[in-house]
Amino acid sequence: MKKLIAGNWKMNGSLAANETLIQGLLAGLANSAPSCDIALCVPSVYIAQVQSLLADSNAIAVGSQNVSQHENGAYTGDVSAEMLAEVGVRYSLCGHSERRQHQAENDTHVAIKAQRALMAGITPIVCVGETLSEREAEMAEVVVKRQLAAVIRLLGSSIDKIIVAYEPVWAIGTGRTATPEQAQQMHAVLRAQLQSATENADKIRLLYGGSMNAGNAAELLAQPDINGGLVGGASLKSADFLAIIAAAR
Ligand code: PGA
């Protein structure tokens, strides 16, 4: 299965910094064609700029970091799936742990977001992952399965159209990565859960996220159930992101 390397810029960037970063990426990709799919999930205000910087290249798709669970109307500050699709967004992160934590998104919201994205023709990247205290309490699998179950319940047979990102919260932005064994073990759990929901589970891409970088990407991406990466900090430097792309074969 073709891997996906998705950058998550989070709330970083500026017109000038974005341009430098994209130019660096395009220059690097001009030298060697990537063997994986690539996406950049950028702040909504920069979607148009990034689309236009990428206009001559079809190697990189643009994604959003969130999508409203509402269709349209009186939801000040929200951006709908239809709006994102209209401007060419191909992927939307749904339920990133930072939004679950700071914006009180729960499993139900996340499932509805994924459904809205799909209905608009956008591929949802549904993020799941346990906190450190949940892992220490040996609740990691229970939590992650609960998070995915809510999406399976709502989407039914359309579950095979999503991407899942396993991001242990304790590994995000901390420099502390899950070991390849820890990541593979959880990915296998997620794969098995998907297998009981769809016969196409083997075609669903499962991304790992949490301090993935140029040094650890190859080993993580070599695991049988890791089909790509969701990359935060290391997606902000073109050399680092290009090295991760090169590691995704
Ligand atoms: P990180 O972030 O790579 O900086 O740990 C990953 C993410 O939050 O998606």
Residue 102: active-site member: no
> Of 104, 125, 116, 126, whose CA–CA distance to 79 is shortest?
116
Contact between residue 165 and residue 128 where contact means Cβ atoms under 8 Å apart: yes
Report CA(221)–ligand 1 centroid distance (Å). Answer: 15
234 CA closest ligand 1 atom index: 3
Q: 29 pLDDT band (50/70/90 cuts)?
A: very high
N-to-C CA span, the chain: 10
67 contact partners, CB below 8 Å, separation of at least 6? 79, 80, 81, 84, 92, 94, 113, 116, 117, 122, 124
Which residue has 């023709």 as its token pair? Answer: 121
pLDDT higher than 90, residue 201:
yes
Average pLDDT over residues 127-156: 97
Taking CA atoms only, the protein residue closest to ligand 1 atom 7 is 232
The one catalytic residue in 82, 96, 98, 109 is 96
- Residues 208 and 165: beta-carbon distance below 8 Å: yes
Helix (H) or strand (E) holding 64: strand 60-64
Cα–Cα distance, 101 to 77 (Å, whole number): 19
Residues of the chain with pLDDT > 70, as a percent, come to 100
134 is catalytic: no
d(CA 71, CA 211): 34
> What pLDDT digit, counting tens, does each position of 73-129 carry?
999 999 999 999 999 999 999 999 999 999 999 999 999 999 999 999 999 999 999
- Give residues with Cβ within 8 angstroms of 209, minimum separation 6: 8, 127, 129, 165, 166, 167, 171, 172, 229, 230, 231, 232
Helices (H) and strands (E) in the chain, counts: 10, 8
The CA distances from residue 225 to 48, 184, 221, 222, in Å, are 34, 6, 9, 9
Tokens of 94: 């749904």
Give ligand 1 pocket residues (Cβ under 6 A). 8, 167, 172-173, 209-212, 230-234
Of 98, 105, 130, 167, which residue is the catalytic one? 167
Mutate to test the pocket of ligand 1, among 9, 128, 211 (most ligand atoms within 8 A of CB): 211
In the reported structure, the alpha carbon of residue 74 is separated from the centroid of ligand 1 by a whole-number distance in angstroms of 32
The packing angle between helices 180-195 and 140-155, to 10°, is 30
Q: Is the pLDDT of residue 32 over 90?
A: no
Q: What is the pLDDT of residues 46-71, one digit of tens each?
A: 999 999 999 878 899 999 999 999 99
Which ligand 1 atom sits closest to the C-alpha of 172? 5
Residue of 4, 5, 8 to mutate, ligand 1, most atoms within 8 A of C-beta: 8
Comparing 2-6, 19-23, 40-44, 57-61, the range with the smallest average pLDDT is 57-61
CA 11 to each of CA 15, 154, 182: distance values in angstroms, whole numbers, following the listed order:
13, 29, 28
Residue 175 pLDDT grade (very low, low, confident, very high; cuts 50, 70, 90) = confident
Ligand 1, closest atom to CA 235? 3
Give the per-residue pLDDT at 212: 97
